[in-house]
Each structure stands twice: as C-alpha cells, then as structure tokens.
A and B are shown apart, each in its own frame.
Chain A
Amino acid sequence: MSPNDRSLKARHQAFPIHPGRIFTWTLLFLGGVVMVTPILFMLSTSLKDASQVYDLRLIPEAPSLDNYKVVLSDGRFLRWFLNSVIVAVCVTLSNVFFDSLVGYTLAKFQFRGRYLVFLAILSTLMIPTEMLVIPWYLMASSFGWIDSYWGIMFPGMMTAFGTFLMKQFFETVPDEFLEAARVDGLNEFTIWWRVAMPLVTPALSALAIFTFLGNWTAFFWPLIVTNSRELYTLPIGLSSFAVEQAIQWEMIMTGASLATIPTLIVFLLLQRYIVRGVMLAGLKG
C-alpha cells in the first residue's frame, strides 16, 4: 500500500461517511431551503415593480428600490414601525426583569408554598391565548386601557415561560456565589442584580430574543385592543395596508422586509451570548 493510499484510508477513518449522516445532512439541507425560500422571495418581490410581482423568477429583471422609497415616505409606516419598537422593547425589558426576578426567587429561596407558586405559574402555560383574550379585554376595558400602549403590552409584561426558563437557569448557579456576596454584605436585590444576573446572560439573551420576536410579530391581541390607526403595530398596519391598497404585494413585501431588520439586529446582537452560554455549559463538566 502506497503512502497516499494509507493517508486516504486514514482520512476515511477520521471522517467516515455513514448513510445515516447523508440522510441527516439531506434533511437539514431541505429544511434550510424551506426556511430560506420565502425570505428570498420576499426580498425579491420587494425589488420588483407591480407588473413583475407574479413573475416567479428569484432575481428580478429590473431590480429597483422604488418600493422602499414609497413605503418609507409614507408616514404611517414609520409610525407603526415605531409603535412596534416601543411595544417590543418595553415588553422585552419587562420580561427580562420580572421573569428573572421571579425565577431567581423560586430557584434560590426556600419558603413555604414555593412549589405551589411554581406549579400555579406553570399551569398558566396550558391555557390557550384565545381563552384569555376575553378576560384581558374586559380587564383592559374596565381599567380604561383600550387603545393605549399599556393595553397592548400588559398581558405580556411577564410570562410563565420566561419565569420557567429563568428558574431553570438560576438553579444551575452555584449557591456559593450568592453566599460569598451575602458574607460580603450585599443585600438580596443587589446579589440578584450584580451577581446572579450576569451569570445567566445566555438565558437572558434567549429570553430577550424570544420575547422580542414574539411581540414584534404579535397580531391577534394588538388587533383587538387597538382602534386608532396611530396605535397600530407593524403587522396590523401592514395587513390594513394590504386591504387599503387592494393587495399590492410588492409594497407588503417591502414593508415585511423592513420589518425583519430589527429582529435580525436583536438576534445578531444577542446570539453570541447564547453560543457562549452553550460553550460554557459544555466546559463546566
């Protein structure tokens, strides 16, 4: 056997090609195509004029940014965009704060009824949103929150999922970190804020991403609780845009393309913390 043959054989042994692996990669590839194709078509359509919308070629014949100029010069779009930013950012900050505060308390303090409280919070995960909408509406109505930012935001200011996620992560924080801070004279709130929170950054990032995306794309509740067009969030605004403009797909796709920008920014900003968290968890051994 020549040295070349041996090296080839060694390489095969180092990277064996299993049929199972080929199947996995094929599935992943197809999954990727399914995910990416609508995004590519969205971007492509946003670069076409109205006459080309039903031309299904991915690369437009005469790409232009005219649609973007039209959408961005429409004051309503910017207003809806701003509304979505306000709602998504406020709800995300609120979730990061309150979910982690409650999760920390449930994970690190022993008190009577702790398990019951946790179960009660978890049980709310089993109630579908559709069932909650009417009580929410009645509550918002009785407090005078209909057609206000607070009305859009209040049901999501704290979530059972976020609390559960943070509790699970805080349980992995060694008690010695907190005890060391206690001996050093910090009060419980400062220990949570200065010591525990930085140790669960990956979970906070994940929670922030999920909450931001969930609120950025929220449609059902904001549609119900808002009446005035000034308070529409982007998904509702875009849908009304469609009805109003007799379904101008190129405009809707342009608006949708612009709407993805904040989500991409949030993800790109926070994803490295998630990746780092996964790596740390692996090294902890």
Chain B
Amino acid sequence: MATIALEGLVKQYGKATVVHGIDLHIRDGEFVVLVGPSGCGKSTTLRMIAGLEDISAGTIKIGDRVVNEAEPKDRNIAMVFQNYAIYPHMSVAQNIGFGLYKSTLPEREKRARISEAARVLGLDALLDRRPSQLSGGQRQRVAIGRAMVRDPTAFLFDEPLSNLDAQLRAQMRIEIKKLHQRLGKTIVFVTHDQVEAMTMADRIVVMRDGRILQVGTPMDLYENPADIFTARFIGSPAMNLLPARLTADADGVRAELPELGASLTLGRFPRDEVTGSQAFIGVRPHDLVVGRHDGQGLTLTGRVSIVEPLGSETLVHIDVAGIPIIASAPGRAIPKVDDLVGVHALTGSLYLFDAETERALCRV
C-alpha cells in the first residue's frame, strides 16, 4: 500500500523556515499535484518525501512505515527530475536498466522489464541511442522508463515537463496521465503550471510560502477557491478582482463598486459584520461575457484595449474606469479595439473575498 502521509512537516535551512509544518495525506494510487509559485516549498516537500532532504521536524510515512531516517533507496520510490537526469554516457537501454542496477532479478527478467517499459513509452526503436541523439520529450520518457522498471510503490515527479515546449508538454501530460491509469501507482507531481495541475491531478495541493493553502479536486479549487491567491492561481486567464465596499440597507447587503459605477445585491450576511468593510468581487474571464444581458448579476462598461482571438472564443481586455479586466466573447463576435462594450456576469458566477484577510467569503 502506497499511502503517503506528511504530519507537521517542517524544513529549515539555518534560521530560515521554508516549509511550515504541513499536513497532507495522499491515498494509495492517487495522483496528487503540488502547485505553487517558485519558492513556495513544493520541491523541497517532494525532496523530503524522496529522502533527498533531511526533515527538520514532523513525520513522513510511506504506507505504515515512518521513513524520516530512511535512505532514499530504502523508501521504494522512484523520482523523475526536471532536467531528466539521464546519463549521457549510457544508451537508452542502459539508462532505463539503471533503475534495476541493485536489483537481484535474473538478467532475463531485467531485459524483459526494460523492453516492456520501452514499449509502453514508445522507445523500442531508440534503445541503442545515446541521450544526445534524443529529443527533449524522448529524454523525459527515458527518465520515466528508468523509474518504471523498478516497480516502485510511488512515483515522484519534480517539474518534469518544464523544459519542454508547449506542444510536447501537452503530449507528455497525456502520456503521464495514461501511465497513471495503467499502473495505478501513487504519484506526487510538482509543478508551477496550473494547467498541468488542473489537467492531471486527482487532487491539487496549492502551496505558498511553505504552507498549504488549499487541497481539493481540480474542480473544487476552480469552483470554490479558499482565498484570492488560489482563485487567481487556478484558472487561466486569472480571475478578475474588482474592489468593492460592502454596505447594508433594508434590502440586504450590497457590494458597491463606485469606481466602476456598479453595485450588486448580495444578501447572505449578518448586517453588522459587513457594513463598511472592504472586499473584492472576483469574476472569471469566462463568466464575464461581452454583450448586453438582462439577467441579474454584474454589468460593467468599458473600452476594449486588446483582443486575443483563440478560435473557440476571444479574450477581450477591457479598461473599466482605469481598472484592467479580462472578459470573453464568442469566437466569431470579435469586438474592435477602442470599442465601448458592455460585459455581464450572472449571479452565481461571482466570488466575494475579504480584502483584509484575502479569504473567500462566499459565492454570489
């Protein structure tokens, strides 16, 4: 069983603490993605799981075993590195087989495993080549092959796709996901790319400044972000944030957006708590649609500054009273730069965040 449990995990370098007592339980066979900006502690956490970094406090369990003091080789995990770490002086077959260097399996079995890994990864024809004769994607597959042949209990991936071009990255995402479906092994995958996290993960762990901000399924995080950071980090383009002031009257709580000349009826708050407090209204570009709409929600008017046609839709950058926001328009209805356009977001697609704590208050 390859559950991985982190309990109060801390990492300090001298006086600097880079991981602040995180708790995380990864289920057997789960694909978990640690995502966050550079320096958030995600790679350090992964390296602590691998045993490549000592932990300063806390506990790491793989299965039922505490592995705090165990050497990397005794954890039965396999790791794929950002720069592939395949050996330039060995052929593809030797590189893949290197994962079995310490194995006591008979030679025939080793060869069979190398062939099987190469077949699964589409490297059969390249077994005699050197890494210098391979493309970036092929090298990454060799690195994955080396991890596969050992039949580990869990795979750790440290930003393995960040050196690939966009097209290859998309292809490798699918291949890794297929691999996970086929092998059913636990995978912990580190990336700073939210698209990778969204498309591959069973669960995403959002990290910032050495802390876990939120853990959930991709759609959980997209639909119910816990704070502004997660809301803007997950989803592309990032969520628009509009400064608002909460007021209360006889009809309930209202969010006033005086700079944008708009207001919004909320209605779920105890009045005393919110009156006069500052907040942010969040709206995703895909929910803020160009065109008139009579339904309830948020309506804004602004001048188009940039259009980005994507085919299926067009991203429209609009300047609303000096505040830049991004909206979307149906693919064939592309507004012109400098046009004055109205945009509308329906009730239910808006998010309210506390401006002081940056925590999510509710969805409206």
Contact = CB atoms under 8 A, between A and B. Distances in A.
Interface of A: 174, 176-177, 179-186, 190, 194-195, 198-199, 201
B52 A184 contact: no
A184 B146 contact: yes
Contacts of B1: none
Given A180-B79, A183-B73, A184-B99, 7 more contacts: A176-B81, A179-B50, A183-B51, A183-B72, A185-B101, A186-B102, A199-B89
Nearest to A195: B87
B140 to A, nearest CB: 13
Interface in B97-122: 98-99, 101-102
24 contacts: A174-B83, A174-B85, A177-B85, A179-B52, A179-B79, A180-B79, A180-B81, A180-B143, A180-B146, A181-B98, A182-B72, A182-B73, A183-B79, A184-B78, A184-B98, A184-B99, A184-B101, A184-B146, A186-B73, A186-B102, A194-B101, A198-B87, A199-B88, A201-B89
A201 B78 CA distance: 28
B82 interface: yes
Contacts of A201: 89
**Best-buried of B73, B85, B150 by chain A (most CB within 10 Å):** B85
Most buried by B among A176, A180, A185, A194: A180
Chain B interface bracket (under 10, 10 to 19, 20 to 34, 35 or more)? 20 to 34
A184 B85 contact: no
Interface in B75-98: 77-79, 81-83, 85, 87-89, 98
Contacts of A194: 101
A183 B52 contact: yes
Contacts of B87: 177, 195, 198-199
A183 B50 contact: yes
B88 A183 contact: no
A174 B87 CA distance: 11
Contacts of B81: 176, 179-180
Nearest to A182: B72
Interface string B250-281: 00000000000000000000000000000000
Nearest to A179: B52
B78 A183 contact: yes
Contact of A182 (B52, B83, B146): B52
Given A179-B52, A180-B79, A185 B73 contact: yes
A196 to B, nearest CB: 10
Contacts of B150: 184
A83 to B, nearest CB: 35
B83 A176 contact: yes
A186 B101 contact: yes
Contacts of B88: 199
A178 to B, nearest CB: 9
Contacts of B78: 183-184
B102 A185 contact: yes
A173 to B, nearest CB: 11
What 8 A-B pairs have minimum CB-CB distances, sorted nearest first?
Answer: A185-B73, A185-B102, A176-B85, A180-B85, A198-B89, A176-B81, A183-B72, A183-B79
A246 to B, nearest CB: 54
A180 B146 CA distance: 10
Residue among A180, A183, A199 with the highest chain B CB neighbour number at 10 A: A183
Contacts of B51: 183
A123 to B, nearest CB: 29
A198 B72 CA distance: 23
A88 B79 CA distance: 43
Nearest to B102: A185
Contacts of A198: 87, 89
B280 to A, nearest CB: 41
Contacts of B101: 184-186, 190, 194
Contacts of A183: 50-52, 72-73, 77-79
B73 A184 contact: yes
Nearest to B100: A184
A148 to B, nearest CB: 38
A177 B73 CA distance: 15
B146 to A, nearest CB: 7
A177 B52 CA distance: 12
A198 B71 CA distance: 24
B326 to A, nearest CB: 36
